[in-house]
Amino acid sequence: MDKISGLLQKDISRRKFLEIMGKIGLTSLTMGVINYQPRFAWGSFKVVPVAADNPSIVWHESKCKRCGKCVGACTGQTVLGYYNSSGGKIICTNCGQCVLRCTNSALTERDDTAKVWQALNNHDLHVVVQTSPASRVSLGEEFGLKAGTVVEGKQVTALKQLGFAAVFDTGFAADLTVMEEATELVQRLTGKLNKPLPQFTSCSPGWVKFCEHFYPDLLPHMSTCKSPQQMLGAVIKSYYAQKKGIDPAKIFTVSVMPCTAKKFECQRPEMNDAGLLAGKPGIKDMDAALTTRELARMIKQKNINFTKLGDSLYDSIFGEKSGAGLIFGSSGGVTEAAVRTAFYLLTNTRPPDQLLNFTEVRGLTGIKEAVVNIPGFGNLKVAVCQGLGNARKVLELIRSGQGSWHFVEFMACPGGCVGGGGQPKTTDNARTARATGLYNLDAASSKRLSYENQEVQKIYQEFFGFPMSDKAHQLLHTDYIARGL
């Protein structure tokens, strides 16, 4: 396993790869791995093709120098060059890595700030916002603070000053996701759920779209859990709306995300489950997703002196999070959080300290593997991939029947959400500093296990009953689309 991982982590030529594989006697794996080489010419592209109606990114032709840096980003993600683009066909995962690479502002996120200002100025609407784990360790960079500086409380204060009626923590929804995703994993492991292993994570919308296009045959592996953003949107417009006595049609939901693909995810037609529950299918669970950069622009437009702000607390009933919910923002964090709770579900005992500091799945290595011994179950094998190029390598192995993992985490962006396409433009060092900020928050948390989150316990008691219940399926789970090439 280690040798295979070592090979996967390197970009090597076909000839060199065959040499190495021959030496270690793993020729049966070669076809699966080599298939990730580009199949279609991409050398003629000077700029990534961007559709005019792309919900996540925009190309500003007049600013473009045709430098090709964005093409490098997209081919590194194994998107451009991996489908037949002749005839003007465009496939985009909405990951935004090309935007991060462009130094001329010729590629940007699609700006949704005007839409959010309009909602905030509409006094008929109850406008609420959720903030991702990752933006609290990167937003400060837009105001001159060091990468990784925790600005959680300042961010809440700024959002209140912008006029949001309530500020919720996506970390709460990450804990809710862990409850559902770990339960789903245990049901697959024990045969209660007739779905294949390994179970794939499903919280990175760029990764989900990549799988829908390039590996639709593997979609049964994908967890049916919605992402935390979408879970929270669905419970805001159902459980919260009921408790507050507000018509869900009058609630406008905004998120602050490190991610450009979240804009696409909001618009997926099937993300209207709270509306369906209320008999109003036209209501979307989430109305707008802002990147970290867009929130910084709104704070500047309002002339808020961000670095001088005091701290405020998130609002209940979605304000509590465990440390496990927060590390979702870093590559390996979803795995670490899910394994902690899966251990508890399988053994009914608290996970050992090793799983509270699960270093094997942390860090910027492209593909990571670990084995966890769970009493009464045996060895649970996990893998963690960051960046879609690494995802392709692992998917080729799985498609060819190789790899014996039970759980695989996929994140579209290098470093996971901390390196998302909507983050302040940055370097590898910033990604590491941001991840360290999240792991420090986890280590300092009084609760480090998602099932200890009392607001999560309450929503199960009052609303869902238990993880994977019919109602949980209705609001917290989804289906995928085999989009193909």
Q: Could you give the CA distance from residue 429 to residue 436 in angstroms, rounded to a whole number? A: 11
Question: What is the per-residue binding string for ligand SF4 in 94-123, x denoting contact by CB under 6 A?
Answer: xxxxx--xx-x-xx----------------
3-state secondary structure of 129: strand
Bond into 198 cis (ω within 30): yes
Is 77 an interacting residue with respect to ligand SF4 (CB under 6 A)?
yes
Is residue 109 annotated as part of the catalytic site, yes or no? no
**Cβ of residue 428: shortest distance to ligand SF4, in angstroms?**
17
Is 70 an interacting residue with respect to ligand SF4 (CB under 6 A)?
yes
Catalytic residue among 203, 225, 385, 413: 203
Of these, 47, 120, 342, 430, which contacts ligand SF4 (CB under 6 A)? 47
**Cβ of residue 113: shortest distance to ligand SF4, in angstroms?**
20
Q: Could you give the CA distance from residue 172 to residue 240 in angstroms, rounded to a whole number? A: 14
**Cβ of residue 49: shortest distance to ligand SF4, in angstroms?**
7
Is residue 294 annotated as part of the catalytic site, yes or no? no
The pair of three-digit structure tokens given for residue 57, joined into one six-digit string: 């990114």
Of these, 66, 89, 146, 302, which contacts ligand SF4 (CB under 6 A)? 66
Q: Do 250 and 264 meet the contact criterion of CB atoms below 8 Å apart?
A: no
108 vs 224 by CB, closer to ligand SF4: 108
Is 224 an interacting residue with respect to ligand SF4 (CB under 6 A)?
no
**Cβ of residue 261: shortest distance to ligand SF4, in angstroms?**
8
Show contacts of 157-163: CB within 8 Å, 24+ apart.
157/309, 157/310, 157/311, 157/312, 158/295, 158/299, 158/304, 158/306, 158/309, 159/129, 159/131, 159/256, 159/295, 160/312, 161/302, 161/304, 161/309, 162/120, 162/298, 162/299, 162/302, 162/304, 163/120, 163/127
11 vs 247 by CB, closer to ligand SF4: 11
Residue 478, exposed/middle/buried by CB under 10 A (0-12, 13-18, 19+)?
Answer: buried
Bond into 24 cis (ω within 30): no
- Which residues pair with residue 168 across a beta bridge? 130
**Cβ of residue 167: shortest distance to ligand SF4, in angstroms?**
28
Q: Do 176 and 238 meet the contact criterion of CB atoms below 8 Å apart?
A: no
3-state secondary structure of 51: coil
Is residue 360 annotated as part of the catalytic site, yes or no? no
Is 454 an interacting residue with respect to ligand SF4 (CB under 6 A)?
no
**Cβ of residue 384: shortest distance to ligand SF4, in angstroms?**
20
Is 189 an interacting residue with respect to ligand SF4 (CB under 6 A)?
no
Of these, 5, 68, 457, 471, which contacts ligand SF4 (CB under 6 A)? 68
Q: Could you give the CA distance from residue 210 to residue 217 in angstroms, rounded to a whole number? A: 12
106 vs 385 by CB, closer to ligand SF4: 106
Region near ligand SF4 per CB under 6 A, out of 73-81, 159-167, 422-430, 457-465: 73-81
106 vs 418 by CB, closer to ligand SF4: 106
Binding site for ligand SF4 (CB under 6 A): 46-48, 57, 64-70, 73-74, 77, 79-80, 92-98, 101-102, 104, 106-107
Residues marked active site are found at 181, 184, 203, 223, 262, 265, 270, 417
